[in-house]
Amino acid sequence: MSGAIVALIVRYGMVMLFLPFSALDKIFSFDHAVKQAQQVFAPRSLAIAVLMTGLFIEIVCCAAIVIGIADRAAAFVVAGYCAATAVLYKQFWKPGDFFVDPDGKARTLFWDFLKNLSLGAGFLLLIVGTDGSGLQPFLTSPFASTHPYGR
């Protein structure tokens, strides 16, 4: 299997949670998604704005990662999105049953919290690369493509 095909499969594997699944869920279950967002952002208009921002990130940034256009910048945004959703929606510290009930809500939220952060770290790997170049290419030209499928 060629390197380009492997890169495509891996990149799509990273974003498939968002594109198409989470994005379609937001579209087809919009009212439910708004109600969920209102648990954190009480005014309906703010919840809708946050939801639309998330939908934009899930569609546009994830597509950019798969296509390989401005993929470092897109990965940076999606990594931040993963961290933000972990902190806002996976608040394992709130239920108060973390140490009391191994099957409790806190433990479930804790694992989801860690999964969000781990996925975000995977997106950060797209930024720093695996070739030892680190942050320098991103800092020098954040909107440049990594050319994952060749030039």
Q: pLDDT per residue over 59-115, tens digit each?
A: 999 999 999 999 999 999 999 999 999 999 999 999 999 999 988 999 999 999 999
DSSP string covering 5-58, please? HHHHHHHHHHHTIIIIIIHHHHHHTHHHHHHHHHTTS-SHHHHHHHHHHHHHII
Taking residue 89's Cβ as centre, other Cβ atoms within 10 Å add up to: 15
| pLDDT over threshold 90, residue 132 | no
Mean pLDDT, the chain, integer: 95
Q: What is the pTM of this model?
A: 0.93
Q: Give the pair of three-digit tokens for residue 29.
A: 């279950």
Is-contact 81 117, C-beta < 8 A?
A: no
Domain boundaries of the chain, sorted by first residue: 3-140
